[in-house]
Amino acid sequence: MENLVQEIAAAGALAFAAALFLVQATAREVGYIFGHRAADQEATPEGVGVVVGGMLGLLAFVLALTLSFASARHQERRDGTLAEANAIGTAWLRAQAIGHPRGTEIARLLEDYTRVRIDFVRADLHSPGLDGLTARTNAMQSEMWGHVTAIVRERPDPVATALMAALNEAFDLAMAERFAFSFTMPPQLFWLLIGMTTLTMAALGYQLGLRRRPLRILSFLLLAMWTATMTVILDLGAARVGDIRVGAGVYEWTLQGFEGGVAVPPLPGR
C-alpha cells in the first residue's frame, strides 16, 4: 500500500490533482442521481443537511490536522539540513585548526562529503544512485573517523577530543537526516483522506439531489478547494517527490565557506 502511495505521488502533482478531482466529481454526481431518485419517490429523509454539514466539518478538521502533520515533517527535514551543514562546517574548522596532517586530510574529505550530502538531499525517490550515495556517505565517515582516531591516540588532548566530538555530531545528524527523508505520510492516513473525501462528496451530491438543485459550479469550486489542499498535503509529506522539496542551499553556503581555506594572520605588532 505504501508503494502505491509513492507511485501516485511520483506521477506528479497535476496528475494526482486531476485524478482526485475526477474521483470526487464522480462521487458527487452519483450521489446526486440517488438523491434525485429519492426525491421522486418522496422518500426525503429529515436531517440530511445536518449529517452532510457534520461530514464536511469532520473532513475539514482531518485535513487541517493532516496538513499540520505534513508541514511539520517538511520543516523537520529543513531544520535537519541546516543543523547538519552547521555541524560539517564546525568539524571542518576544527580539522583545519588542529595543526596535524590528518586534520588537513579530514578537512579535505569533509569538502567532498558536503558535495555527497548535497546529492543526497537533491536525489529523487527513484534515483538509481540513492543507495550509492548512502554507501559513499558511510565509507567517507569511516575514513574520517579512522583519521580522527589516529589523532586522538597520538595526542589525547582537548583539541583532538573537540574534533572527534564535532565529527560525531555531523555523522549523527546525517543519520537523523536520512531518517527524516525516509519518513513519509502513513498510507493509512492517505487512504483515510481519500475515503472521507469521496463519501463526503457523495453525501453532498445526495443532499443536492433531494433538493433538485445541482449547484454544479459551486460544487466544483468546493471540489477544487479540497483537491488543492490534499495535493499540497501529499506534496509536503513526501520528501523526494512533488514540487515542494527541501533545498540544499545551506550545504552550498558551507562549501562557499570552505573556499580559500584558513589563513593564519601574522601576529599583530605591539
pTM: 0.81
**What is the C-alpha separation between 145 and 133, in angstroms, rounded?**
18
Instruction: Report the percentage of the chain scoring pLDDT > 70.
Output: 91
Instruction: Report the percentage of the chain scoring pLDDT > 90.
Output: 30
> What sign does the CA torsion over 246, 86, 96, 157 have?
negative
Long-range contacts of range 134-137, CB-CB < 8 Å, 24 or more positions apart? Answer: 134/178, 137/113, 137/174
66 or 268, greater pLDDT: 66
**What is the C-alpha separation between 21 and 191, in angstroms, rounded?**
15
Taking all residues of the chain, what is their mean pLDDT, rounded to a whole number? 84
Please give the torsion angle defined by the CA atoms of residues 32, 9, 6 and 245, in that order, rounded to the nearest 10 degrees. Answer: -140
Which tens digits make up the pLDDT trace of 58-78?
Answer: 888 888 888 888 888 888 999
**Residue 41 reports pLDDT greater than 70:** no
Residue 41 burial (10 A CB sphere; 0-12, 13-18, 19+): exposed
**Residue 93 reports pLDDT greater than 80:** yes
Task: Check if the beta carbon of residue 6 is closer than 8 Å to that of residue 240.
Answer: no
**What is the C-alpha separation between 162 and 149, in angstroms, rounded?**
12
* Whole-number pLDDT of residue 149: 94
- Compute the half-sphere exposure of residue 192: CA atoms within 13 Å on the CB side of its CA: 13
Q: Annotate 96-129 with b (16+ C-beta within 10 A) or e (fewer).
A: bebebebbeebbebbeebbebbbbbbebebeeee
Query: Of 251, 252, 107, whose CA–CA distance to 166 is shortest?
Result: 107
**What is the C-alpha separation between 32 and 202, in angstroms, rounded?**
7
**Residue 224 reports pLDDT greater than 70:** yes
**What is the C-alpha separation between 96 and 65, in angstroms, rounded?**
47
